[in-house]
């Protein structure tokens, strides 16, 4: 008896100390439950498997054994974080009846929606009792269990508390019940994750690589967009070898089920035969929670099917160097050097059908002779486009001013101090905004003209001209600057007050030239034609064009040399347009 009293005292002291020491630890919210969610645990009364009382003394003992149920439940409620565990009495919510008058042990009741359940029993008789507590899943798979022994029915409540401590017991002490549950869930999930077609997860989530998709209707042969999901569990662990289902409302998908790879990723291709509408793509995975309950994770992302890019914004820079020598460069008695630079914004239209025809049937590139206008891209600094379905609607109306700089130097034979000398007879420099003239650009398939060498690879050629706006015919493009001209009386250059022009040449670069007039003629060729076509069929980001060409003319009267360089930076021009439902 002294030994028994000593044991009771020791356990009581241990319980008091443990409760005090664990108060602070248990009062802290578990980080895992913030990520992986709250669990519902139904706590059933312990099943008292002792002989029913036959006398008043046995009745007291029987009532005392029932205290173990309320004790273990009350201890869990006091110490577990309500953010992590919801602890629900088995069938006695709001029932003030003493448990011995209305006991509530588990008797195979149907699933009431709980995640886990605590069951238990007490066996034995006065002097030797055994209390068993079991934490089970929804399908009664054991997660953890504890068995404690005690001698007196009066000790049942205290040992009910001890059983909860040992339910999460380790060699270093007891843990929160949520941590016991989470450890079990992680082990079961990890085992499933190593299996092909594994279907266990804790609280999985699906994320698309984009929160929403804009699918560009690119061409007759390319109307698709890759979409990728990542399947992870609540703690960031990737879920591999899982079959994820996909579906859409309007378009089509390359596959309706895709298995995740080692990184938890699954990829599908969205395919459309229409343009300008809205859709939704959904990814779904059916799984089992470690507590054996079925679950489904589903995520959707909006999809906007855009029409193909028809227009491009551009910035063009043109450099023109013209030199003319009379009668020739070696024996010149007169020369003129003209340098021009032109730069500004332009807007261009893509002729997509023609590009597609050239891609499908390369021989069609020769359908137009060098002087025929059959562009794949055209526009300029003055551009207007209307809606083909409603011509009264103007989609784009741009007229951009151009920055022009012109430098002219002329030399000739003049009298100086009674002698003839080859001197500078005229020079001028001007730069300004030219708002009365514009640039017209056309890019077409290159077909070599007569006397020109046909390339082995298919190229495109730039056709670039200038012109005055019809509503500005009476205005001259003069700019800021000055000029000096030779004064035959003063025998030197003197300033003149004549306005200095910043005009744009009518012809800057043509696809071909009359080779009876030119000694050499290099058109402005775009040689990376495949990259250029690919960009025009699906403009994304920017694309830069650089082209240059030299020309020479020569006869008995003069020799001329010219060089034209063109740089164009392109980017998509987006027209606001609400997708059709």
Element (H, E) at 136: strand 128-137
Pairwise CA distance, residues 131 & 75, whole Å: 16
Q: What is the pLDDT of residue 31?
A: 63
Give the model confidence (pLDDT) of 15-68 as tens digits. 444 443 443 344 344 567 888 999 999 999 999 999 888 888 889 999 999 999
Give the model confidence (pLDDT) of 371-380 as tens digits. 899 999 999 9
Tell me what percent of the residues of the chain surpass a pLDDT of 70: 92
Same topology between domain 2-190 and domain 205-306: no
Tokens 């089509």 correspond to: 252
Is a pLDDT exceeding 50 seen at residue 1? no
* Every domain of the chain and the residues it spans: 2-190, 205-306, 311-573
Q: Answer positive or negative: Cα dihedral of 358, 364, 365, 370.
A: negative
CB contact at 8 A, 116 and 178: no
Give the model confidence (pLDDT) of 431-473 as tens digits. 999 999 999 999 999 998 887 777 878 999 999 999 999 999 9
Lowest average pLDDT, out of 218-232, 247-261, 263-277, 343-357, goes to 218-232
Question: Is-cis flag, bond preceding 327, omega within 30?
Answer: yes
Is a pLDDT exceeding 60 seen at residue 560? yes
Average pLDDT over residues 149-178: 90
Please tell me the CATH code under which domain 2-190 is placed. Answer: 3.30.160
Q: What is the pLDDT of residue 219?
A: 58
Tokens in use for 476? Answer: 């001259």
Fold of 205-306: Immunoglobulin-like (2.60.40)
The tally of CA atoms less than 13 A away on the side-chain side of residue 76 is: 28
Is a pLDDT exceeding 90 seen at residue 146? yes
Q: What is the pLDDT of residue 340?
A: 97
CB proximity list for 172: less than 8 A, separation 6 or greater: none
Tell me what percent of the residues of the chain surpass a pLDDT of 90: 69
Nearest alpha carbon to residue 231 among 201, 265, 278, 255: 265
Pairwise CA distance, residues 481 & 228, whole Å: 59
pTM tops 0.75, yes or no? no
Distances (CA, A) of 391 to 96, 350, 386, 387, 388: 81, 19, 5, 5, 6
């Amino acid at each position: 008896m002294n030994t028994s009293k000593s044991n009771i005292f020791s356990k009581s002291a241990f319980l008091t100390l443990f409760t005090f020491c664990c108060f602070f630890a248990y009062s802290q919210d578990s980080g895992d439950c913030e990520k992986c969610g709250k669990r519902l645990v139904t706590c059933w009364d312990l099943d008292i498997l002792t002989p029913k009382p036959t006398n008043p003394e046995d009745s007291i003992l029987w009532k005392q054994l029932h205290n173990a149920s309320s004790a273990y439940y009350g201890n869990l409620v006091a110490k577990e974080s309500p953010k992590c565990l919801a602890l629900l009495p088995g069938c006695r919510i709001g029932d003030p009846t003493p448990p011995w008058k209305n006991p509530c042990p588990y008797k195979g009741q149907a699933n009431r929606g709980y995640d886990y359940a605590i069951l238990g029993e007490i066996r034995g008789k006065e002097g030797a009792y055994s209390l068993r507590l079991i934490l089970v899943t929804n399908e009664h798979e054991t997660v953890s269990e504890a068995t404690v022994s005690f001698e007196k029915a009066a000790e049942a409540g205290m040992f009910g508390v001890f059983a909860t401590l040992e339910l999460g017991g380790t060699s270093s002490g007891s843990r929160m019940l949520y941590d016991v549950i989470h450890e079990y869930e992680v082990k079961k999930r990890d085992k499933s994750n190593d299996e092909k077609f594994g279907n266990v997860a804790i609280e999985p989530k699906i994320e698309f690589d984009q929160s929403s998709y804009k699918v560009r209707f690119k061409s007759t042969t390319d109307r698709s967009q890759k979409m990728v999901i990542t399947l992870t569990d609540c703690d960031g662990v990737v879920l591999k070898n899982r079959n994820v289902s996909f579906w859409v409302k309007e378009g089509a998908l390359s596959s309706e089920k895709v298995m995740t790879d080692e990184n938890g990723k699954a990829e599908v291709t969205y395919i459309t035969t229409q343009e300008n509408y809205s859709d939704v793509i959904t990814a779904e995975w059916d799984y089992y929670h470690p507590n054996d309950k079925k679950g489904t994770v589903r995520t959707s992302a909006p999809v906007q099917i855009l029409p193909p890019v028809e227009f491009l914004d551009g910035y063009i820079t043109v450099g023109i160097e013209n030199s003319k020598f009379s009668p020739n460069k070696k024996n010149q008695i007169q020369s003129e050097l003209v340098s021009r630079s032109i730069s500004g914004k332009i807007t261009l239209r893509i002729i997509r059908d023609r590009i597609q025809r050239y891609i499908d049937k390369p021989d069609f590139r020769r359908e137009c002779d060098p002087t025929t206008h059959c562009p794949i891209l055209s526009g300029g600094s003055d551009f207007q486009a209307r809606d083909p379905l409603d011509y009264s609607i103007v989609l784009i109306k741009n007229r951009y001013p151009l920055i022009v700089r012109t430098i002219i130097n002329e030399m000739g034979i003049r009298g100086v101090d009674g002698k003839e000398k080859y001197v500078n007879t005229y020079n001028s420099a001007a730069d300004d905004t030219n708002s009365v003239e514009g640039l017209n650009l056309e890019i077409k398939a290159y077909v070599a003209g007569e006397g020109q060498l046909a390339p082995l690879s298919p190229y495109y050629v730039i056709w670039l001209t200038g012109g005055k706006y019809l509503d500005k015919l009476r205005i001259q493009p003069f700019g800021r600057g000055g000029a000096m001209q030779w004064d035959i009386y003063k025998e030197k250059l003197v300033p003149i007050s004549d306005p200095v022009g910043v005009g744009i040449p009518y012809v800057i670069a043509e696809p071909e030239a009359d080779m009876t007039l030119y000694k050499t003629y290099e058109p402005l060729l775009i040689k990376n034609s495949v990259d250029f076509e690919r960009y025009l069929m699906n403009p994304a980001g920017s694309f830069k064009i650089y082209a240059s060409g030299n020309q020479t003319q020569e006869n008995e009267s003069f020799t001329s040399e010219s060089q034209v360089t063109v740089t164009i930076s392109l980017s998509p021009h987006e027209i606001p347009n609400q997708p059709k439902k």
